[in-house]
Structure 1
Amino acid sequence: MIHMKIEKLPSGSYRIRKMYKGQMYTVVFNEKPTQKEAMQAMAAEPDKIKSKKYHLTFTEAAQQYTETKEHVLSPKTVKEYLEIPSRLTDDFTNKPIYDITQIDIQKEINILAKTLAPKTIRNYHGFISSVLGMFRPEMNISTTLPQKIKNEPYIPTDEDIKRLLQAAQGSMFEIPIKLACYGLRRSEICSLTIDDLNGNTLAIDSAKVLDKNNQWVEKQTKTTASTREIVISPQLADLIREHGYIYKGHPNSITKHMNRLQDELNMPHFSLHKLRHYFASYMSSLNIPEADILEMGGWETDYVMKNVYRHTMKDKLKTSQDKASNALSKILF
């Protein structure tokens, strides 16, 4: 007869444990059980856990999925993951995870497609797939997603930048806007301090983002490539030292101030992040190698660069087309 080891815990309770198919099962008793009681309780435990798992809803599974990754994901990503279930339909989020079928996923995506952009839908679908992948790794997910929309980003012109900086001169937003023209993200700018400036070099190794409690917190930069050093102009370095800080306001205030200035100047609205695209475009026009631009801007992949290059090449193509047309007209007419 097999005897199970019964452990007495410091609390006075009794515990039995058993490894079965790679998983440890534990049963706790208030009073010391007999061997028969211990065997019966342990025999029933796998079925109890299986039943509990089976009734786990998508919302509950999503919560567990996010919790298991909370300390390896950025606070911003954790916040987004926790919010996604509330943006899905109740029919989907309340459904037991083991009852969800490919048809359920496709229906949910079809509903979302009525109001959300294709990029957002792809993000939501990626999250749904990841949650199901953790709890149901055997499930084959093959969803038809909405076609991507070719987005031609507005990249500010040199004239836009000059007018905007002139209007921001002397304000607390002048330095953040100028730093964005060096390819810095808003989160990076808001995390910088005067101690990060050494001569004309800024060390970028942190970012300020919203966490799951809607509190602004400091974290590591977005990617490994984002941790970098950039060289700024002596004039900007002196301006920072003169102020004694880089930026002390609320991150959202930069965007609001830019929008107000853009209205006053009657220019197209563009976000602070678009100045990163301006940086890449301007560096490209100076024929700086792509690898150097990626490193200076802290990009891990060339996805953004390809979009910027397409924009730059389109302008160059128009110039070439005009030049070719003028040359041919001299011969033909």
Structure 2
Amino acid sequence: MNVSKLSSGNWRARVYIGKRNGKSEYQTFLGETRREAEMKAMQFQIEFDRNPSKALAQYGKETMKKQKDTKPASYEDMTVGECIDAYIDNLVGVSSATTIRRYRKDRAKFFQSIMDTRLKNLTQPMIQTAVSTEAKRYAAKSVHCAHGLLSAALSIYKPDFTLRTNLPPIPEPDLQIPEEEDVRRLLQHIEGRWLEIAVLLGACAGMRRSEICALKFTDIDLDKSLIHIRRTMVKDDKGEWIVQERTKTVKSKRDVTLPPVIIEKLWNRPRNSEFVIGVVPDTVSKEFIDTRNALGLKCRFHDLRHYNASIMLALNVPDKYAMERMGYSTPATLKKVYQHTMTGKRAEVNDMINGHMAAAFLSK
């Protein structure tokens, strides 16, 4: 959908409907506000996706004057489920495959008690009851995510409806950040295996599983001793692993320098495919769990990323550079989730503080 403001002050939204005689054709919708034009176009897009002939017959090639006099499309007869389905469908091609897949799972799993309710009959108490019910069954973070999907869909299809839902509090994550000795033991145990490369990239480059599995040999720069992080391996909405030429966020697209010895290990891997480790993220997790259990450790593979952030904290790396290396646009997530001090470093700091206090006030 293309949306633009006309010299008259009105807004125009255009929806692509195909080609005729080699030329692209669009259905045009006008509105006095951007939202009005978008709502008309989105309603048409939904119906066009379901039945192109019927949608074109219904809307026709209306003139700008006629459209200016029409009221914004109403979605009041849509059900909550249809509203969310339409919202997700319009994100295909815009959001990542992982996001679409998660949204579809949440749509099928949460708030089923209100899915058949028409938007015109939907009330805040109904939503609150649905949320409170799910909060007894699922983790608070999952309920927050599902409510976020509902809120986003309603903002499009019931824009005048303001949500004031009381959501369950999300507890602070209990992270099991590995110590430096733990990482050393892991690497010694898996030396020479593909898992060694995955652990090195997680602990030393702060990379996610999806980024590690999508890393290609062409992403390695031997001269500059760095790697280019440009893509991710994720599951599509059918549950199949795919490689998408995009990262989790815009800032996740980054270059990370590494010690030459690690770069050489990457470069010298057997070239059975274009990918450095040649496995999918689930395999990384499974192999890591088996190794972790054999060594009596409790950390997850993703905790290696926490370890990387904590090391930067311990080394007093400025947030700006830590954010660049981790792939974040703001320091909020970096500080809240990743910068947990490790047990060993915490003990060291405590000893330093206590030693200072003892020397200052208790020594004779």
Q: Does 1:253 align with 2:283?
A: yes
Identity %: 24
| 1:276 Cα deviation after fit | 1.0
Going from structure 1 to structure 2, the CA distance change for 1:137 and 1:315 (only over 3 Å counts) comes to farther
**CA distance in structure 2 between the partners assigned to 1:127 and 1:61 by the alignment:** 11
**CA distance in structure 1 between the partners assigned to 2:173 and 2:221 by the alignment:** 39
| 1:117 Cα deviation after fit | 1.8
Larger displacement relative to structure 2 (91-100 or 303-312): 303-312
Runs of 4+ with deviation above 6 angstroms:
17-21, 24-27
**CA distance in structure 1 between the partners assigned to 2:29 and 2:353 by the alignment:** 76
* Cross-structure match for 1:210: 235
**CA distance in structure 2 between the partners assigned to 1:316 and 1:74 by the alignment:** 42
**CA distance in structure 1 between the partners assigned to 2:120 and 2:346 by the alignment:** 50
Q: Secondary structure at the match of 2:57?
A: strand
**CA distance in structure 1 between the partners assigned to 2:146 and 2:80 by the alignment:** 13
Aligned residues: 298
Q: 2:259 aligns with which of 212, 217, 233?
A: 233
- Code of the residue aligned with 2:261 in structure 1: it is Q
Bigger Rg, structure 1 or 2: 1
What are the equivalent positions in structure 2 for 1:83-232 lying under 5 Å apart?
A: 83-181=105-203, 182-199=205-222, 200-219=225-244, 220-232=246-258
Contact 1:183/1:296 (CA < 8 Å) preserved in 2? yes
Q: Secondary structure at the match of 2:268?
A: helix
Q: 1:291 aligns with which of 306, 310, 320?
A: 320
Q: 2:295 aligns with which of 234, 247, 265?
A: 265
* Cross-structure match for 2:57: 28
* Cross-structure match for 2:82: 60
Contact 1:191/1:208 (CA < 8 Å) preserved in 2? yes
**CA distance in structure 2 between the partners assigned to 1:310 and 1:279 by the alignment:** 11
Contact 2:251/2:324 (CA < 8 Å) preserved in 1? yes
Q: Secondary structure at the match of 2:151?
A: helix
Larger displacement relative to structure 2 (54-63 or 124-133): 54-63
Going from structure 1 to structure 2, the CA distance change for 1:331 and 1:80 (only over 3 Å counts) comes to same
| 1:152 Cα deviation after fit | 3.6
Going from structure 1 to structure 2, the CA distance change for 1:18 and 1:64 (only over 3 Å counts) comes to closer
**CA distance in structure 1 between the partners assigned to 2:57 and 2:282 by the alignment:** 51
Going from structure 1 to structure 2, the CA distance change for 1:88 and 1:331 (only over 3 Å counts) comes to same
What are the equivalent positions in structure 2 for 1:33-44 lying under 5 Å apart?
A: none
Larger displacement relative to structure 2 (316-325 or 299-308): 316-325
**CA distance in structure 1 between the partners assigned to 2:294 and 2:228 by the alignment:** 34
Going from structure 1 to structure 2, the CA distance change for 1:310 and 1:262 (only over 3 Å counts) comes to closer
**CA distance in structure 1 between the partners assigned to 2:174 and 2:57 by the alignment:** 61
Q: Does 1:281 align with 2:313?
A: no
Q: Secondary structure at the match of 1:90?
A: coil
- Code of the residue aligned with 1:222 in structure 2: it is K
| 1:320 Cα deviation after fit | 3.6
Going from structure 1 to structure 2, the CA distance change for 1:19 and 1:287 (only over 3 Å counts) comes to closer
**CA distance in structure 2 between the partners assigned to 1:205 and 1:212 by the alignment:** 21
Stretches of structure 1 lacking an aligned partner (at least 5 in a row): 1-9, 11-16, 30-41
**CA distance in structure 2 between the partners assigned to 1:205 and 1:89 by the alignment:** 36
**CA distance in structure 2 between the partners assigned to 1:166 and 1:319 by the alignment:** 30
Stretches of structure 2 lacking an aligned partner (at least 5 in a row): 1-19, 21-27, 45-54, 59-65
TM-score after normalising by structure 1:
0.81
Going from structure 1 to structure 2, the CA distance change for 1:322 and 1:314 (only over 3 Å counts) comes to same
Going from structure 1 to structure 2, the CA distance change for 1:65 and 1:279 (only over 3 Å counts) comes to same
TM-score after normalising by structure 2:
0.74
Going from structure 1 to structure 2, the CA distance change for 1:18 and 1:78 (only over 3 Å counts) comes to closer
| 1:170 Cα deviation after fit | 1.5
| 1:88 Cα deviation after fit | 1.9
